[in-house]
Amino acid sequence: MSDMETAGIVVVGGSLAGLRGAEALRNGGYTGPLTIVGDEPYPPYDRPPLSKHVLAGALDAASTELPRLVRLNARWRLGQTVVALDRIARVIGLADGSAIPFQSLLVATGAQARRWTRAGSELAGVFTIRTRDDAAALRSALASVPARVLIIGGGLIGCETASCCSDLGLPTTLVDSNPAPLSRVLGATVGNVIAGCMMDAGVDFRASTHVDALEGAFGKVVRARLSDGSAIETDLVVVALGAVRETGWLSRAGLLADSGGLTCDSACRALNVEGQPDLNIFAAGDVARWPNAHYGDRLMTVEHWGNAIEQAEHAARNILSDPSDQNAYRHLPAFWSSQFGINIKTVGSAEGAEAAAITQGSLSSRRFLAVYGREGHTVAAVSFDEARWLPSYARRIEIKATFPPVPGAIDQERVDVVDPGFPAPRELAGATSSVRQEAAHA
């Protein structure tokens, strides 16, 4: 048996994608050595409950561990960070100085919370929420009944946190640089519905505004200065500005990687800086940036729970296959969120849509289904407490059905077509899409 055969397969990332990828390897018949490296000291855990049940106090952070679906018989290296990769020798180096050889490598390192880098970053009382420890610390701070919570960022994490704080009866302000919450993924038109729900729940929403600086006293945050010249007195700040990927060890090894992710081909194989696939290195989950065939092979990073599982399982199957038999990964993004008493579900990617059609319900009722179109095709749909038609629209997205929808295929006679409120297409040209669900990271 060769050294590479004894080296086995290494999974970097003690995440949802890492765990399900490892399980898929075993389910696929792989019986060789299997090592899982994770930078956190905990076994893989479920992230969606962190910004929902854990913050609300309904679930302890330690109770989020993911169930094991398969007996892995793996070597676990938890609390270890990968700092180096030698693609020629097929070895990864850990921060403790040890090295692990591999036959194949699955990168499933997920993403990390984007930190506050402006004035006041060192102050106590400033939190992010991405990890189990983040959620436990923030929950403890919320339980101390702060005078006012300030949330910076109107994505899913920011909105869900605001909803939780409102439910807890805490005075809350959310500051968003965009014109409406979730406007980057759903457009300002639908985002304004969320803004209305938010303000009705008592949240002070500040649109199209930046936090310029945080100020403190005796080492603790006490105030935020905004771009409009106003100030907010606050003793607890939640930074919800999206995610970045720690890929320095990958880019230093000559792979096409940056803070936006590790670029892969359609078979989930990592690409080098020349754009050629490394046949021994694969990626899955939040860290993977891959061409989505549903959207003209536009490069996407998809921070969704379902994608983490499906892509990890697909990558595992390709690892176990001959390169000539490795299949392209096809995934239609989908996410869900519960906030301010509304269940929001989406399929597809609405980014850059030119129009939206309200096919069920109405925006004013806050119960509706909106379908998004681009270049005459249906590209996404979102439901607010109106999810029964969503599966049919998923199929229409896959077959590139005509937009607006044909009246006979919907359940109300009149379809209102509206401007979704996205930036003009020219502003998106050449951009890498990032379909975000900050509440559900792999």
Contact 175, 209 (CB under 8 A): yes
Q: Higher-confidence residue: 233 or 433?
A: 233
For 351-404, what is each residue's pLDDT tens digit?
Answer: 889 999 999 999 999 999 999 999 999 999 999 999 998 999 999 999 999 998
User: Which residues touch 24 (CB under 8 Å, ≥6 apart)?
Assistant: 312, 313, 316, 317
Fold agreement between 3-111+245-325 and 341-431: no
pLDDT confidence tier of residue 406, bands split at 50, 70 and 90 = confident
Q: CA 233, 236, 239, 245 torsion: positive or negative?
A: positive
For 146-178, what is each residue's pLDDT tens digit?
Answer: 999 999 999 999 999 999 999 999 999 999 999
Q: Is 341-431 a domain of CATH 3.30.390.30? A: yes
State residue 424's pLDDT score.
65
Pick the CATH number of 3-111+245-325 from 3.50.50.60, 3.30.70.20, 3.40.50.1400, 3.30.56.10: 3.50.50.60
For 53-99, what is each residue's pLDDT tens digit?
Answer: 999 999 999 999 999 888 999 999 999 999 999 999 999 999 999 99
State residue 145's pLDDT score.
97
- Pull the structure tokens for residue 75: 């070597």
- Domain range annotation of the chain: 3-111+245-325, 115-241, 341-431
List the CATH code of the domain at 115-241: 3.50.50.60
pLDDT confidence tier of residue 412, bands split at 50, 70 and 90 = low
- What's the order of all strands across the beta sheet hosting 149-152? 126-127, 236-239, 149-152, 172-175, 204-206
- Pull the structure tokens for residue 181: 């919450």
Quote the CA–CA distance of 348 and 90 in Å, as a whole number: 37
Residue type, 296: G
> Is the confidence at residue 408, as pLDDT, over 50?
yes
Mean of all residue pLDDT scores within the chain: 92
- Pull the structure tokens for residue 436: 């975000």
- pTM of the shown model: 0.92
Average pLDDT over residues 200-206: 98
For 30-65, what is each residue's pLDDT tens digit?
Answer: 999 999 999 999 999 999 999 889 999 999 999 999
DSSP letters for 105-169: EEE----EEPPP-SBTTTSBTEE--SSHHHHHHHHHHHHT--S-EEEE--SHHHHHHHHHHHHTT
